[in-house]
Structure 1
Amino acid sequence: MPRVHAPSRPSGACASAESCRRCHPRNWRTMTEHSPFHLPRPRLTIEQATELARDRFGVTGTVTELGSHQDRNFRIEADAGTVVLKVSNPAVATIELEAQNAALEHLIGLDLDLPAAVADVVGSQIVRVIIDGQNLDLRLLTYVDGHPLTDTLHLSLEQIRSLGDVAARIVRGLADFEHPGTDRFLQWDLRRGGEVIDALLVQVDDEARRDRLRTVTDAARRQLTRVSADLRVQAIHGDLTDDNVVSGDGAAGAISGVIDFGDVAQGWLVAELAATCACVLYRSPQRPLAILDTIEAFAAQVPLTDAELSALWPLIVLRTAVLVVSGEAQVHLDDGNQYADANRSREWLAFQTASAQEGAEIEALIRFAVADPHEAIAATGHPVLGPLDPAARIDLSVTSAAYDAGRWLEPGIDERVALDSAACLGHAVTGYGEFRLSQTRIDTADESITLALGIEVYLPADMPVTAPIDGTVIVVDTKTVRLEGIDFDLWLTGVDAAADGQIVRAGSALGSVAASPRHARHGTAIDRVTVQTSRLRGIRPPFFVAPSGAALWQRVCPDPSALLGLTPLGPLADPAALLQRRDATFARVQEHYYAAPPQIERGWKHHLIDTHGQSYVDMVNNVTTVGHGHPRIAEAARSQWSLLNTNSRFHYEELIRFTERLAELAPDPLDTVFLVNSGTEAVDLALRLALSYTGHDTVVSVREAYHGWSMAADAVSSSVADNPRALETRPEWVHLVEAPNAVRGKYRGMQSAPQYLNDLDGDLQALAADGRTIAAFIAEPVFGNAGGVLLPDGYLSGVYERMRARGALCIADEVQVSYARLGQHFWGTEQQNVVPDIITIAKAMGNGHPLGAVITRRDVAERFADDGPFFSSAGGSPLSCRIGLTVLDIMRDEGLQQNAEVVGEHLKRGLERLGERFDLVGAVYGMGLYLGVELVSDRAEFTPATAVAVAVCDELLLRGCIVQPTGDFKNVLKIKPPLCLTIASADHFLCALAAVLGEIAS
């Protein structure tokens, strides 16, 4: 038997008058309890379903109930495969079920996986039974294998288009399908959508929501009335949504199968597409124009008529409203229906998203989406303003130097930059298609509206404005003109125009630049003129749009550069194409975050900005301690480069100043500094120091740790997340001891140090018995790679005592957790109340500049001289020392250690509260701004939720937060942002994480 799948969104049908005697068509509008819109699910237990499947269909196995609005569905894991027992609502006529089966047979060969009816023990596909006085029809359906789209948090563009494609294929397949069972009364039939609203609106308890529903749906109904007579009618599926389709190629793949045909009925052809678009709205509420991709894919196979194009948007609005009132009514009627209750929030979200759009603009965009692409606008020889100097173009993109030092957040920055440029060059011109950093918003899950669809020209007032094309002048307001041409509208602002309604020829005077004294610079009055083209005739387009709609909007509003006598700017590099270039020359083993990463080209404090002007809170960059783009570091680097940069064998003051500062910060008796370029080099050098000083042969390190990539640093690293073969490839001079992980380790709890130390004693005895001597013990004072797990109380104290008793040195790998990151402590070892013999540091020291150090005692450093001099070509260079000093100055002057303590405590409390709400959160680790959130699928077993952690990080990226998984199971969210993180940004991260966890848990 083939595998089977349950339909997750069954029909909400009612029988015709002949099959449903309770609901006569003459009085259904006034019915309440016996209305066709009030259809409680059949009363049936899992035990009863098990018996029915066994006795009627000969199927046995594990039975699980699936969600449904108005039917009952039971998945049965049988030996021969998984099947679904569908128990239809008593109000659904048998002939309607026969129509559903017939439709499935009619669509065989459609190149889609579809369910099929399985006959019972006597050969019937529909079985009538009486259970507790209910006349119920049973069917058994085959399973459609695949990944349900409802389990996908974020629909890919491929899936959004695939929904439209599949809807069109089903419509085409059913175009010639006829069956008396499709002539049915169905509350999802949008021909009756207004009546459904009238009947069920009372079920919405909130008065404001009721009023909004009434206002919006009345407007949609009026629009439909104008075209309804011209809409095509045929048998349609009626519910091609994420509930009823599966993907065959994983979570992001195209749709491969349809799993439910419970709503097959006669209806408007375009209503099929409306239902699908409503689904896209609630799955992509932050990108409402994603429906245009669905519509374009549908129309490529089923061209829409003019009437259908006019009807589509009001039908989408009506569909979202019907979903809302039907869901509210179903929950009122059947308060145990968790499936219907869970759907309510997303249905309201879809309605709110739809009702917030401008209908005329959406209709125009729909028409444009299905039209053939238009060519670019060509030069006419009559520039609107001119002549303009190409050199006067100013850069307002994400990488513009005008936005350095956070100036992009200043109100009016674009205008000030343009006016300053115009004062020098006589005029200034902005770029079309530029993603403006000034439009970027921080600490938000919403897409920033950054793409400029027009050009701004700053030039002296009273300059003449020329008509570049033939057209009719429409004066919109005192400073806005629309020139209606043959192929497009030209929108101009900041212009005193000719008479309204005047017909002008290309090259004739259109008006002049309007004077604006507030723009005066150095005695010259300068005004701004905006130039924008649009193929949405008569509808003024926005000047800025979201990057997600760039492809369509740039077709709607082509580049007007040619009308200004300018050459269009080249397109922005595609991040995906750039990634291919990276892979062509950059060793792929050097991994990057995310499968489809944004192209990050600017940072400011704890924010990262991509080339489309989207901002992300950087929750993972412990390298950039004092924040991205810090002007003091930039100036320090510029200043030192202009003076000197060489190696430490030369004599210069910056080296002395920096090493003195580090020695002052180090705990006594550590007083001597080596400068290198990275944490790996620091660890490698520390191991050499210990081996040289002691003359011993063995280094002890803890499991699960990561210390670097060089031969020696990798040798003492045992994290299987960084090296899957780590535990089997350690050299003989390395001895691994149990990881003292107080949460996931062999012994649990912060008081578990004695147990770990007891095990360590056994290791030390075994090493001694083998004649091995210990040169060093190396460990992080906080388990950074595990997500900031604190060591058990007293663990390092006990270890250091044992090691020193054997003549070994104690190395604290502080590369990740030092430099004030823990808030209360500058050094991680302070949390354990110990002082190591050697400290290794890097990352935070240079704020992204390659800089590392080893701090130790003078006697340890001097012993190393016996092996010859040590030298690092760039370690300790004047530039590195200057930057290192500046980082320390900034940390002191801006109170970043105190900020790490305050914001870190606030953030950790927030994460712990999320742990109280969501079972996915197994534990919260760390202190200050080194935190970790371990995600588990089972709290009792503490089962790592690795796949969930990856999905959470991907979803957080879409909500403007960058975080990555860590730990041996890659299930811990590592949270180690720049120390300048604010409470506002921490709260944004907490809200985003709560939203993602809520979606996964629902």
Structure 2
Amino acid sequence: MGDTHFAAWNEATAARIARDMFGIDVASVRLLGSNEDLNARIETADRAPLVLKVTHPGISRDALEAQVAAGDHLTAAGLGLVVPRTHPTVQGDPIGAVEWSDGTRLVRLLDFVPGGSPTEAARPPAGAADRLGAAAGALTAALTGFTHPGLLGGGDWDLREAGRIVAASRLHLDPDVATQVDLAMRLADARLGPLRDTLRVQATHGDLTGDNLLCDASGAIVGVIDFGDLGLGWVAAEAAVTASSLLQHDGDALALAFDAIAAFDARLPLTEPEIAALWPAILMRAAVLVASAGRVLAADPSNEYAAARMPLERRILARALELELDEAEALLRHALGRVPALPSVLGLMVDGLADAPCLDLTVTSQVHDSGSWTDPDASVQALLALAGASGSAVTAYGERRLTASAAAGDPPRSLALGIDLAVPVGTRVVAPAAGTVAVGEALALAFDEGGAVLVHGTSASVTHGERVVAGQELGVAVGPDAMAVLHVQLAACASLTPPPLARPAQERAWRELCPDPSSLIGRTSVAVQDADADRLARRRDDVVAQVQEHYYAQPPRIERGWRHHLIDVDGRAYLDMVNNVAILGHGEPRLAHAVDAQMRRLNTNSRFHYGAIVELSERLASLAPDGLDTVMLVNSGSEAVDLALRIVRAVTGREDVLALTEAYHGWTIGADAVSTSLGDNPRALDTRPSWVHLLDAPNTYRGTHRGDDAHLYLPDALDRIAALDDAGVSLAGFIAEPLFGNGGGIALPDGYLAGVWAAIRARGGLCISDEVQVSYGRLGRHFWGFEQQGAVPDVITVAKAMGNGHPLGAVITSREVADAFAVEGSFFSSAGGSPVSCVVGTAVLDILESDGLQDNARVVGERLANGLRALAGAHPALGAVHGMGLYLGVEVVAGGPDAPDSAGAREICDALLDQGVIVQPTGDHKNVLKIKPPMTIDDAAVDRFLAALDRVLTWREARRAL
């Protein structure tokens, strides 16, 4: 083919090789990614697309011939999968050769097999993991009898060589990553050591993942590609490769891995040693992926494919390390239907507990009030306290407990696989059946008929390895004081040590692996809280109007809050980045005490005379600018806005009101009339009543005037007001948020409100500042949002933060305006200004001040905003960061201000939920991440949120780059 020396890999080089070596009429070329080989898709004028593969120098001709033969073998096996054919060179050779700058490289031309990846999406569709595992099992089974001289073992992707590969690559890894790789290899080696010689070895594809198993539009697997890793290897390793590839995905990736393994086993049954070796092999595969990527990138930093895969491969490794090896093997056995049965009859282990009180440790238990769950010892102390009053106490099997580990935000180990007993020191523990004792950290009794029981907290009366009979004493309860705490747990697999707590997602498996031990203490199973979020969602849909929406398609069931955390019934604490109503955070005990005390004394309506309404109103008036000294208390922000509109119309004797587009003010008829947010009402601009007139939203990011031109919004507004004058419109007033709330916290141009308000007042109108979302110190540097604009309104509306979730709002204005409103008659709001509501409002202000939450919003908000700006600089999906203090919004874009990405924002929010963070999109395009957390948020929570957002964006970009 003329000059066969090449140095650069590009479209022109690929076209030349295809044309000269294979005689192809090349129409176009697209380079494809690979760790080490050079691949390109070749479009031709007269045939179907082809793939040109230029191998790396370490591949022999024999190995490539083995790949060709393996493809022919699988085609002949009749699996119904398309395998790429090899096309000969112009000389009739299936393999060509070119001289590269690093030596001779072999070249092949193959069919391009059409189809998509069954696992391309961040969340693979239902059944994808099963189909992937089934195809991998069938292919591996078909290769069982395949042999070829070029079929060698010991390659870089043969897991039998994992130790060598990792050792050779380790120096190229960051220290933290190297530590994870070392841990994975150490755990895997320890478990695999005695098993190596018992594992089947045969021809394996070596890379049966969603990248190389192709599906049609229905999701059915229709083809297999890329035999570059073909060689001799463990059958268990082939299953591990497929399963580990699923650990990169969002959602319950562990369940995906187990589904794939079960489907693999259904096509090619795994042996007992292979089951024991499988999770160690997954750890090895993950370690090799991460280590090899480090080596490849050290040799070729420009390898975009390897760079894109690295974050996903590190995620695979982290996920593989989430399970202890015993735990993983137990779950595997359950997935494969190989869980042994326990003895049918078991006697008592501990007597006298049939009537002992049961301590509730679920999320809704009062034991966890006031944040006591954050103390790791709180549950034990509560159990001992309950036992102290009655002589003994127990906990419930199968409950989902709230523990201190919930604050980490990861899916928690909260499902109780055993029971805890608080009993007097010296209480006897006896064998419930015959078996053999093992004495260690726990006292374990392996039953003769299968399975075992484990007991923690005893002093053994028997020796290690001793045979015992039913009823024989095993030990006595020990503790530092008069009472001791025992933990009792059954295990179907006697050789494995199960954890005391498991992830609720694996409940079905663990109920078989660790059955309820309540009968061992003479009790029946205790009914625990129904924690099925999906079932509750269906009940909600049956009785709650669909238009009363909820966050997320499959929402977690939130039943507790604490400060800036929301806690679901699985015991997982989500970082709350969106709940601006709970300004003091959730579960505030001082507020709860104030409400409880007042509710016990009196709650009535504001027409009665009592101190609480005066105290709250005085506090609000003292916080408002001079002259705004009169307060009207209501139930909500919508009611406050409605009342404010009535006031300005009544006082001025005019009907017409000016508002901004993109704004949201509430749901009542009046508040909705001046709301134009398309995100809340897609028909908003078409359904405004005739008395509402609109100004163009001064959106400095996406609007008519941007950046340095933002000052032009004010003359535009003044021109619009003048045009209304010319049309004979007399304005009663103007309403605006000083920062766009539902628009994502976009600040108005400096001087905008002062200029517009001056024009309104010059015409006899009144100005309303809607502070429902932005007030109460949330902006950090300002208590009221209008302070940022250096202007003072005539009427203030406030709610949300005012009650920390209690229905409470207010309108603050001057005595003159309030008195003029009397032409409408008397004003009354049933719960607005009630004693309880007023005590709530005063307590909120007290705690806000005493805890320095406004200053916290300034300091922590600056840290949060700076972190978001740094992420926006690193990730193209993020645009501008709006707002100030703890009232922020982040644009999600697909190229800039004029390309808002609503789908991307939703995808990011869903992925953040997997990371234990709650964020929601807002704005007319639903593309702005709304970030308005409780003002208790601290540096650690901010750093956790930023790290989670960084991970989500990195994984998203990695998938898109592949």
TM-score, normalised by the number of residues in structure 1: 0.86
Aligned counterpart in structure 1 of residue 430 of structure 2, from 460, 466, 486: 466
- Alpha-carbon distance, 1:969 to partner: 1.8
Matched, 1:436 2:401: yes
Match of 2:107, as an amino acid?
A: D
Report the counterpart of residue 965 of structure 1 in structure 2.
921
220-229 vs 917-926, which moves further? 220-229
What is the aligned partner in structure 2 of residue 305 from structure 1? 271
AA partner of residue 164 (structure 1): G
Structure 1 residues 465, 905: CA separation in 2 closer, same or farther (over 3 Å shift)? same
Please tell me whether residue 652 in structure 1 is matched to residue 606 in structure 2.
no
Instruction: Give yes or no for the alignment of 1:240 onto 2:203.
Output: no
Corresponding residue for 2:136? Answer: 167
Structure 1 residues 429 and 992: CA distance shift in structure 2, 3 A? same
Query: What's the secondary structure of 1:673's corresponding residue?
Result: strand
- Which one-letter code corresponds to 1:165 in the other structure? A
Shift of 1:714: 1.7
Matched, 1:602 2:566: no
Matched, 1:565 2:522: yes
Which shows bigger deviation, 316-325 or 846-855? 316-325
CA distance in 1, matches of 2:174, 2:804: 52
From 427, 452, 461, give the equivalent of 1:489.
Answer: 452
Is the contact made by 1:144 and 1:259 (CA closer than 8 Å) also made in structure 2?
no
Please tell me whether residue 426 in structure 1 is matched to residue 395 in structure 2. no
Equivalence for 2:834: 877
How much has 1:604 moved relative to structure 2? Answer: 0.7
Q: Distance in 1 between matches of 2:360 and 2:921?
A: 37
CA contact (8 A) 1:908 1:924 kept: yes
After TM superposition, give the deviation of residue 355 of structure 1 in Å.
7.1
Alignment: residue pair count = 945
Q: 1:310 to 1:889 in 2, by over 3 A?
A: closer
- Secondary structure at the aligned position of 1:437 is classed as coil
Measured on the aligned residues, the alpha-carbon RMSD in Å equals 3.7
Aligned equivalent of 2:417: 453
Where does residue 39 of structure 2 map in the other structure?
Answer: 73
How far 1:782 sits from its partner (Å)? 0.5
- 2:236 corresponds in structure 1 to 270
Of 406-415 and 221-230, the range deviating more from structure 2: 221-230
Deviations 1:721-765 (A, max 9, x none): 111222222222222211111222111136623x11222233223
- For residues 295 and 138 of structure 2, the distance between their equivalents in structure 1, rounded to whole angstroms, comes to 32
Find the aligned partners of 2:566 and 2:187 in 1 and give their Cα distance.
43
* Distance in 2 of aligned mates of 1:589 and 1:931: 27
- The Cα shift of 1:843 comes to 0.8
- Cα distance in 1 between the residues matched to 2:397 and 2:837: 40
Is residue 6–residue 99 contact of structure 2 (8 Å, CA) maintained in 1? no
What do residues 586-644 of structure 1 show as CA deviations (whole Å, max 9, x unaligned)? 11222211222211111011111111111111110000111101112212222222222
- What SS class does the counterpart of residue 336 from structure 1 fall into? coil
Please say if residues 55 and 105 of structure 2, whose CA atoms lie closer than 8 Å, have aligned partners that are also in contact: no
Query: Matched residues in 1 for 2:207 and 2:553: separation?
Result: 32
Helix, strand or coil at the partner of 1:65 = strand
- Post-superposition offset of 1:301: 3.4
Q: What is the alpha-carbon distance in structure 2 between the residues aligned to residue 335 and residue 446 of structure 1?
A: 33
Match of 1:616 in 2: 574
**1:771 Cα deviation from its structure 2 partner:** 2.2
8 Å Cα contact 1:73/1:84 also seen in 2: no
Aligned AA (2:267): Q
Code of the residue aligned with 2:363 in structure 1: it is V
**Contact 1:57 1:119 survives alignment (8 Å):** no
Contact preservation (8 Å) 1:810, 1:838 = yes
Corresponding residue of 1:577: 535
Measured against aligned partners, the alpha-carbon deviations of 1:806-858 in whole angstroms (never above 9, x if no partner) come to: 22221111111011111111110111111112211111111111112222223
**Cα distance 1:541–1:777, how it changes in 2: closer, same or farther (>3 A)?**
same
Give distance in 1, aligned partners of 2:343 and 2:817.
73
**Residue 708 of structure 1: which of 662, 666, 669 is its match?**
666
* Residues 1:400 and 2:358 are matched in the alignment: no
Matched, 1:629 2:587: yes
> Quick one: structure 1 residues 776 and 221, their matched pair in 2 at CA, closer, same or farther if it must change by over 3 Å?
closer
SS class of match (2:883): strand
CA distance in 1 between counterparts of 2:646 and 2:84 reads 70
- What amino acid sits opposite 1:430 in the alignment? T
Task: Find the aligned partners of 2:911 and 2:233 in 1 and give their Cα distance.
Answer: 37
| Equivalent-residue separation in structure 2 for 1:215 and 1:707 (angstroms) | 55
Q: Per the alignment, do residues 77 and 576 of structure 1 end up closer, same or farther by CA in structure 2, a change over 3 Å counting?
A: farther
TM-aligned CA distance change 1:797 to 1:541, over 3 Å: same
2:159–2:284 CA contact under 8 A, matched in 1: no
Tell me the distance in 1 between the aligned counterparts of 2:603 and 2:176.
68
8 Å CA contact retained: 1:82, 1:143:
no
Q: Does 409-418 or 370-379 show the bigger shift?
A: 370-379
Q: 1:818 aligns with which of 763, 775, 778?
A: 775
Q: Deviations over 1:147-193 (max 9, x none)?
A: 673562x66785555543332243345557x5758735672563752
**For the structure 1 residues 839 and 375, does the alpha-carbon distance in structure 2 shift closer, same or farther, using more than 3 Å as the test?**
farther
* Secondary structure at the counterpart of residue 359 of structure 2: coil
Partners of 1:212 and 1:990 lie apart in 2 by 22
Contact 1:190–1:315 (CA under 8 A) maintained in structure 2: no
Which residue does 1:743 correspond to in 2? 701
Letter in 1 for 2:829: S
2:739 is aligned to 782
- 1:245-324 to 2 correspondence within 5 Å? 245=213, 260-265=226-231, 267-281=233-247, 291-324=257-290
What is the distance in 1 between the residues matched to 2:545 and 2:46?
A: 48
Residues 459, 954 of structure 1: CA spacing in aligned structure 2 closer, same or farther, 3 A cutoff?
A: same
Amino acid at match of 1:598: P
Q: Please, which moves more after superposition, 426-435 or 316-325?
A: 316-325
SS at match of 1:938: coil
Alignment counterpart, residue 931 of structure 1, candidates 867, 871, 888: 888
Which moved further from structure 2: 923-932 or 346-355? Answer: 346-355
Paired with 1:923 and 1:212, the residues of 2 have a C-alpha distance of 35
- 1:562 is paired with a residue of what secondary structure? helix
Task: State the Cα deviation string for residues 849-907 of structure 1 (Å, max 9, x = none).
Answer: 11122222233333333233333222222221221111111112211112111211221
Partner of 2:945: 989
Between 318-327 and 840-849, report the one with greater CA deviation: 318-327
Q: Which moved more, 1:51-60 or 1:360-369?
A: 51-60
Deviations 1:782-810 (A, max 9, x none): 11112111110000011101111222221
Distance, in Å, in 2 between the alignment partners of 1:820 and 1:834 is 17
In the alignment, is the contact (CA less than 8 A) between 1:247 and 1:254 conserved in 2?
A: yes
Is the Cα–Cα contact under 8 Å of residues 445 and 992 in structure 1 kept in the other structure?
Answer: no
Q: 2:375 aligns with which of 387, 410, 414?
A: 410
Distance 1:311 1:227 in 2: 7
Residue of structure 2 aligned with 1:731, choices 689, 697, 706: 689
Instruction: Letter of the 1:470 partner, please give it.
Output: A
Find the aligned partners of 2:176 and 2:762 in 1 and give their Cα distance: 75
Match of 1:863, SS state, is helix
Gaps of 5+ in 1: 1-39, 520-524
Asked if 1:832 corresponds to 2:789, the answer is: yes
Choose which of 462, 483, 486 in structure 2 pairs with 1:499. 462
Decide which of 744, 748, 752 is 1:791's aligned counterpart. Answer: 748
Q: Which residue of 2 aligns with 1:3?
A: none
The worse-fitting range, judged by mean Cα deviation, of 317-326 and 866-875 is 317-326
1:486 counterpart letter in structure 2: E
Q: After TM superposition, give the deviation of residue 383 of structure 1 in Å.
A: 2.2
How big is each residue's C-alpha offset from its partner over 1:125-161, in whole Å with a ceiling of 9 and x where there is no partner? Answer: 9684757796653435345444673562x66785555
User: How many percent identity over aligned positions?
Assistant: 44
Corresponding residue number in structure 2 for 1:476: 440
Structure 1 distance, partners of 2:389, 2:217, is 58
User: Which blocks of at least 5 consecutive residues in structure 2 are unaligned?
Assistant: none
Equivalent-residue separation in structure 1 for 2:92 and 2:637 (angstroms): 72
The question of whether the paired residues in 2 share the 8 Å contact of 1:456 and 1:528 is answered with: yes
Conserved in 2, the CA contact under 8 Å of 1:663 and 1:855? yes
1:920 maps to 2:877: yes
- CA–CA distance in structure 2, aligned partners of residues 193 and 47 of structure 1: 37
